[in-house]
A and B are shown apart, each in its own frame.
Chain A
Amino acid sequence: MSDIEKIESETLQRIAAAGDIAALEDVRVASLGKKGVISERMKELGKMSPEERKAAGAALNLLKDKIAAAIDAKKQRLEDAELDRRLATEKVDVTLPVAPSPKGRIHPVTQVSEEIVAIFSAMGFDVAEGPDIEDDFHNFTALNFPPDHPAREMHDTFFFRPRADGSRMLLRTHTSPVQIRAMMTKKPPIRIIIPGRTFRCDSDQTHTPMFHQVEGLVIDRETHMGHLKGTLEAFCKAFFEVDSVRTRFRPHFFPFTEPSAEMDIGYERVGNEIRIGQGEAWMEILGSGMVHTNVLRNCGLDPDEYQGFAFGMGIDRLAMLKYGIPDLRDFFAADARWLEHYGFDPLDIPNLATGLSR
């Protein structure tokens, strides 16, 4: 065995025997280090003749590369083993529960209002608003409720304490005063919906002193009651997310529309669930009609030139029907259990492209 072969076999043996990185490092220093055995041999090359040097140099370089490669390979193995050993100690119980992040919720009235806005926006309606505290003119007189007319009494109005001048403000009993504000400030064509808070002095199982309505108003030169029907049917289909709805218009009386009608919608009760769009039963869901000529005149519009329809429906009621919420009074009780159960994820923003609801 030549000298070089001997160094090689001895060194490789020591590499194989190195049990850890430190021992391996010792081997490296002893062989490839400045004073290592291979380095020492390298130094001797200078004393040799060119021919000898060439042969021995090549052999030494070969040896050096071989040893270096063996050390690197061993080092990699030792590091892997070291990492495996460490990882073996780093075990967690993956079933531990993560810290809960609080889940906020959107109230059904907000959600359903935004659903309604999404649908009517697609039909070209803008959203208008007005104040909750109104005067008699906007809430009644301009809407063709004659003073002392019995129809006023049907409204169970909340009044404020009289002002010094004897006048008294009231809480709007419907969203209709915003119709007046809209028609008095904007020239037709008008195509708006008006969602908002409304108030009646009435409280029992199915009535709360505050509730939410959405009003619709279209004024132009050609809109008739057929458009009212088409619009509301389209709305109901989109809102209840059903393929078809059955509707029934019944003549009714409202001071501010003529002709007036209530709209019923066909439904079926299955257990506690109300299914809209099927079944034989009828349920009233809104009041509507052609805007009364007196109302148009009160707003400075010529009823022979302009015409249009108006409707109003309860937002809370629509929410109850669509989402099977049993009791109106719970809407305003701010009970966390109710809000968490009936509320909506803030990321569920009503949008017609994704379907109104998940």
Chain B
Amino acid sequence: MKFTLSWLKEHLETSASLADIVETMIAVGLEVEHVDDPAERLKAFTIGEVIEAEKHPEADKLKVCKVATRDGVLQIVCGAPNARKGLKVAYAPVGAYVPGVDLTLTKAKIRGVESLGMMCSARELMLGEDHDGIIEAPTEAKVGDGVAAWLGAYDPVIEFEATPNRPDTNAVAGVARDLAAAGLGRLVTKAPAPVRGEFPCPQKIGLHFPKGAENACPMFAGRYIRGVKNGPSPKWLADRLRAIGLRPISALVDVTNLLTYDRARPLHVYDADKLKGEIRARLGARGESFVALDNKTYAVDEAMTVIADDNGVLGLGGIIGGEATGCTEKTVNVFLECAYFDPLRTAKTGRRLGIHSDARHRFERGVDPDFVAPGLEAATRVIIDICGGTPSDILVAGEKPDARRTIAFPPSEVKRLTGIDVDPQKSEAILSALGFKVSRADPWLVDVPSWRPDVEGKADLVEEIARIVGLAALPAAVLPARAAVEMPKLTPAQTRRMAARRALAARGLLECVTWSFADERHAALFCDGPNWLAAQGLLLANPISSDLGAMRPSMLPNLVAALRRNADRGRDDLALFEVAPTYASDRPDGQQTVAGGARLSHPRRHWAKAERAADAFTAKADAVAALEAAGAKVDQLQATADAPPWYHPGRSGVLRLGPKLALAHFGEIHPRVLKAMDVDGPVIAFEAFLDSIPASKPKATKTKPALDAPELLPVRRDFAFVVDDKVTAEALLKAVRSAEKKLIADVGLFDVYQGKGVPEGRKSMAVEVTLQPRDKTLTDEEIDGVSKAIVTAVEKLTGGTLRA
């Protein structure tokens, strides 16, 4: 919403400065977004007088002028045809920024002649479109004065955000009311004086709504004005509309725009000679359409309020008028409409048709239902002042919706909700200044003015008082401590995430945050396919772009795509992770938190070590680190080779706690998936499902178990077993451990070998077993006994034999 300072002053008698007005608007909740003060904007430019204008020796179209300025008599080269002796001009000195050409002036030589400054056109100062010549200031303008006042560009324009709850502030009068209440001046808005009708209104009007839809347009008023003369608006009106960014059209239309901004009261004016029969408000019918003032054709239906005559739909009530019955230069007789349209229906219709108009903006927020007839009177007055004509009586169909509300208001509510002590006298004065009527019963009874549909209860009145008092009065109070030491607790899920992140970063991975969305084609590679995404409700109806159309079922597509982007920039040795949500359905329980990571591994050579590229086991270690940090009992994890299909079928696995509970996937990404994403692999990845980690039982005590540190030296023995290729390391280690539960303290696998010396289809695995004696040193016989038991157990459980 925009308005000019002089316009405001028609409603507010004030001596406040522009800065005070802006400050106060902000303080009462009218958020000023922009102030254009021409005096400030044009302060570099002053009046000059051309005292000599000679032809440039080198150019026919240029003149070399001597100009009297604030800075003395200067030589300025100028190309304007109207540069002539005696002309008062807008002088821009060297160093000034000229907005219309976006440049800062410097001393220049133009075709060999020095030029010190510039004489500006209207366009160069952004005061208009004129660029045929330089500005001609009034002859009485004084050299050295600022140009703004002499050029009529003295009126500051203020733009602010009118919040959706305050329809009254879409009017200059409404802004003035708030400012007056805040003590910035006196509200001098006049109630429109009735204009006497000279004859009965010849235009029939009517409301035709089915039962239940009467509220679409409860009141429709209008009058006929005979013998008007339409044409361009007078300068004051055209200037005013232009200043707030509107294009003057014709006096009749401009008057309705004036009322729209002055009083938030949109009206419509029809060329009465183009109307046929009764003009009525009704619901639209399927199949009907009309050409609107924006020259577009709109189809209407039974959910929309239309204005129609015998020929059909003329326009959409409260949104936009029709082309066919609009006013032109030739219009002589008009019908002026002023109605009340239902906010909800207006909003829905406007949104469905995508029409943004000043009328819709106001009707959908709620116009003042008590200002229908007064608005009509006010518009009539301006029209006959400008266009002449004779008005008829006013016709009204229906009646104004009852907006009366009374709120029981204990004045103590102000303190209860804001903590501000406000004298009840002051509260009452503020409410009265804003148009509320206060009856001092106990509690107070406060009548809400018709233009404030947003005020429904006590808290709304508190806000009115608080914003006018000013929120600077809020005390800075401290929330009472709930305990001497505040001991809030993060949930286990929250601490898991924090720990997993730090653990992965400590392993050298970079944490990133990627979209919860993914490219639908990529997402489909990391789940059961596109149909699954649709069936689970994971496709957006209005994605921001086509490559962000699905909720990600896994974060891997985003991480893999990120690896690729980095690789394209030359970073092909990179490990990324993210601890964040993935989505398996559109239900709350479909969202789960995953710690996922992906590596692209091309380690740089180093003199001190042979760098090993990351492989499935790097990912396994990543997953275990994340799970361990998050509190999973990782010593009980088992790995199985059945990772989902987006992983390499042979180089991937699942980490499980028991057969049913999968806690992580890890391994190489399937080469076909990488190809579909146009990524050069291999890419190593993992997904650890933090939410699936079983909750640990709350501990009864913080005491740790006693330390178990045997006195006796441990004994180590190596064994190499030849087993079938299918026997897993996990199975072998388990078999070894099972041989002697008391003495075997640790089993480490230190070699896996296939090849010469080992039969085809078999492999050798070598383990180091640590025996920890407890009570006495082990004898050779005892050690041999354990060794035999190990060999027997391995043979029995895995079919493996000791390697010869």
Nearest A-chain residue to B585, judged by Cβ? A133
B292 at the interface (CB under 8 A from A): no
Stretch of B41-49, B254-262, B570-578, B731-739 at the chain-chain interface: B570-578
State the Cβ distance, B67 to closest chain A Cβ, in Å. Answer: 39
B687 at the interface (CB under 8 A from A): no
Whole-angstrom distance between the alpha carbons of A121 and B258 in the complex?
A: 54
Contact among B467, B477, B490, B491 for A229, CB-based, below 8 A: B477
Nearest B-chain residue to A101, judged by Cβ? B508
Question: Which B residues lie within 8 Å of A29 (CB)?
Answer: none
A226 to B477, Cβ gap below 8 A? yes
Question: Which B residues lie within 8 Å of A250 (CB)?
Answer: 26-27, 29, 31, 471
Q: Return the CB mask of A320-358 against B: 1 if under 8 Å, else 0.
A: 000000000001111111011001001101000000000
B344 at the interface (CB under 8 A from A): yes
Interface size class of B (residues with CB under 8 A): 35 or more
| Most chain A CB atoms below 10 A, which of B166, B419, B488 | B488
State the Cβ distance, A336 to closest chain B Cβ, in Å. Answer: 5
Q: Return the CB mask of B594-633 against A: 1 if under 8 Å, else 0.
A: 0000000000001111000000000000000000000000
**Contact A110/B591 with A210-B516, A226-B418, A252-B31 known, Cβ cut-off 8 Å:** no
Question: Which B residues lie within 8 Å of A248 (CB)?
Answer: 471-472
State the Cβ distance, B583 to closest chain A Cβ, in Å. Answer: 7
Whole-angstrom distance between the alpha carbons of A180 and B479 in the complex?
A: 22
B474 to A124, Cβ gap below 8 A? no
A336 to B540, Cβ gap below 8 A? no
A57 at the interface (CB under 8 A from B): no
State the Cβ distance, A281 to closest chain B Cβ, in Å. Answer: 13
Which residues in window 153-174 of A have CB below 8 A to B? 153-154, 158-163, 168-169, 171
| Most chain A CB atoms below 10 A, which of B516, B551, B558, B580 | B516
Question: Which B residues lie within 8 Å of A126 (CB)?
Answer: 488-490
| Most chain B CB atoms below 10 A, which of A106, A125, A199, A201 | A106
B542 at the interface (CB under 8 A from A): yes
A267 at the interface (CB under 8 A from B): no
B471 to A249, Cβ gap below 8 A? yes
A153 to B513, Cβ gap below 8 A? no
A331 to B513, Cβ gap below 8 A? yes
Q: Return the CB mask of A102-145 against B: 1 if under 8 Å, else 0.
A: 11111101100010010001111111011111000000000000
| Most chain B CB atoms below 10 A, which of A106, A149, A229, A251 | A251
State the Cβ distance, A123 to closest chain B Cβ, in Å. Answer: 6
A98 to B608, Cβ gap below 8 A? yes
Question: Which B residues lie within 8 Å of A132 (CB)?
Answer: 516, 581, 583, 591
A225 to B417, Cβ gap below 8 A? yes
B586 to A252, Cβ gap below 8 A? no
A334 to B583, Cβ gap below 8 A? no
B365 at the interface (CB under 8 A from A): yes
B581 to A99, Cβ gap below 8 A? no
A223 at the interface (CB under 8 A from B): yes
B351 at the interface (CB under 8 A from A): yes
Contact among A124, A148, A203, A227 for B544, CB-based, below 8 A: A203
Contact among B28, B472, B491, B512 for A334, CB-based, below 8 A: B512
Whole-angstrom distance between the alpha carbons of A325 and B420 in the complex?
A: 38
B713 at the interface (CB under 8 A from A): no
| Most chain A CB atoms below 10 A, which of B502, B548, B559 | B502
Contact among B347, B463, B493, B511 for A258, CB-based, below 8 A: B463
State the Cβ distance, B522 to closest chain A Cβ, in Å. Answer: 14
Whole-angstrom distance between the alpha carbons of A131 and B479 in the complex?
A: 29
Question: Which B residues lie within 8 Å of A253 (CB)?
Answer: 29, 163-166
For the complex of A and B, the 3 pairs showing the least CB-CB separation, nearest first, are: A102-B508, A226-B419, A251-B29
- Using CB atoms and an 8 Å cutoff, list the residues of chain A in contact with chain B: 96-107, 109-110, 114, 117, 121-127, 129-133, 146-151, 153-154, 158-163, 168-169, 171, 189, 191, 197, 199, 201-203, 209-210, 218, 223-231, 233-234, 248-253, 255, 258-262, 290, 292-293, 303, 307, 331-337, 339-340, 343, 346-347, 349
- Using CB atoms and an 8 Å cutoff, list the residues of chain B in contact with chain A: 26-29, 31, 163-166, 344, 347-348, 351, 364-365, 415-420, 457-460, 462-463, 466-467, 471-472, 474-479, 481-483, 486, 488-491, 493-494, 498, 501-517, 534, 537-545, 548, 551, 558-559, 562, 565-566, 569, 571, 574-576, 579-581, 583, 586-588, 590-591, 606-609
